[in-house]
Structure 1
Amino acid sequence: MRPIPAGFIQTLILTVTDEMTVDFGELGAVHPVYATYWLAKHFEEAGRKIILPFLDDGEGGIGSQVEVIHTGPALPGMTVTVTATFTAQEGRRIHADMRAVTELGDEIGHGSTTQFVLPQTRIDANFEALRDRWAAHREPGK
């Protein structure tokens, strides 16, 4: 992985959809506003954009931590901009601060993400090992 410059910023711009509102499945729809779990997804996506330009061939990233402090609502149809700012690199661990703002200029959330940069073959091998364990667990008579 190549070094990430201090203060490197990436943005993710999205439009809130009805699908992104609070609906807990078993418990049903709760609030007709942008859900915290979607904000977490978008924080992780913006954090990934921080590492992509700096990965070497054969490297991949995997999320390991997302902190979300959801401070305000956004309605379906509103544009939200998530800004990811690189804050630190500790070996292969990459940290970024997150901030989400609506088109009205209201901050609706902030937090951080952490990702690990590893050889993609190692990431793939870990997933394959998990698939193998799960398949063995599901076999009849086991």
Structure 2
Amino acid sequence: MRPIPDGFTQTLTLMVTDEMTVDFGELGAVHPVYATYWMAKHFEEAGRKIILPFLEDGEGGIGSQVEVIHTGPALPGMTVTVTATFTGQAGRRIHASMRAVTELGDEIGHGSTTQAVLPQTRIDANFEALRARWASRGVGESNP
């Protein structure tokens, strides 16, 4: 992994859709606003954008931690920008702070992510080992 400059930032801009509102499936729709679990996904995606320009050939990244503090609502149709800022590296773990802001300028969330950078062959081998364990139980054979 090439060094990431202090304060390096990346952004992810998205429009909140009806699909991104709070709906717990079995429990049904709860609130017609941007769901915390979607914010977590977008934080992880923005955190991944931090590492991509610095990966060496043969390296891959995998999310290992997401912290989300959801502080305000966003309605379907609103634009949200997630800003990821590199905050440090500990071995192969890359840490970034996150901030989500609506087009109105309201901060609606903040938090952090951690991505682990590993050889892609190791990541792939771990997934294959898990598939083999699952298949040995007679499940998942039809899932590639």
Question: Structures share a fold, TM > 0.5?
Answer: yes
Letter in 2 for 1:5: P
User: What are the within-5 Å matches in structure 2 for residues 23-34 of structure 1?
Assistant: 23-34=23-34
Instruction: Name the SS for the 2:123 alignment partner.
Output: helix
Residues in 1 aligned to 2:81 and 2:138: alpha-carbon distance in whole angstroms: 43
Residue 46 in structure 1 maps to residue 46 in structure 2 = yes
Residues in 1 aligned to 2:63 and 2:23: alpha-carbon distance in whole angstroms: 24
The residue that corresponds to 1:89 in the other structure is: 89
Residue 15 in structure 1 maps to residue 15 in structure 2 = yes
Q: Aligned pairs, how many? A: 139
User: What are the within-5 Å matches in structure 2 for residues 1-142 of structure 1?
Assistant: 1-138=1-138
Residues in 2 aligned to 1:27 and 1:97: alpha-carbon distance in whole angstroms: 32
Residues in 2 aligned to 1:22 and 1:131: alpha-carbon distance in whole angstroms: 31
Instruction: Name the SS for the 1:33 alignment partner.
Output: strand
Letter in 2 for 1:91: G
Residues in 1 aligned to 2:5 and 2:89: alpha-carbon distance in whole angstroms: 10
Please tell me the root mean square deviation across aligned C-alpha atoms, in Å.
0.6
Question: Gaps (5+ residues) in structure 1?
Answer: none
Question: Gaps (5+ residues) in structure 2?
Answer: 140-144
Letter in 2 for 1:13: T
Residues in 2 aligned to 1:10 and 1:24: alpha-carbon distance in whole angstroms: 30
Q: Normalised by the size of structure 2, how large is the TM-score?
A: 0.96
1:81 Cα shift? 0.2
Identity fraction in percent: 89
1:62 Cα shift? 0.3
1:15 Cα shift? 0.2
Runs of 4+ displaced beyond 6 Å: none
Q: Normalised by the size of structure 1, how large is the TM-score?
A: 0.97
Letter in 1 for 2:34: Y
1:137 Cα shift? 1.3
Instruction: Name the SS for the 1:128 alignment partner.
Output: helix
Residues in 2 aligned to 1:138 and 1:5: alpha-carbon distance in whole angstroms: 47
1:117 Cα shift? 0.1
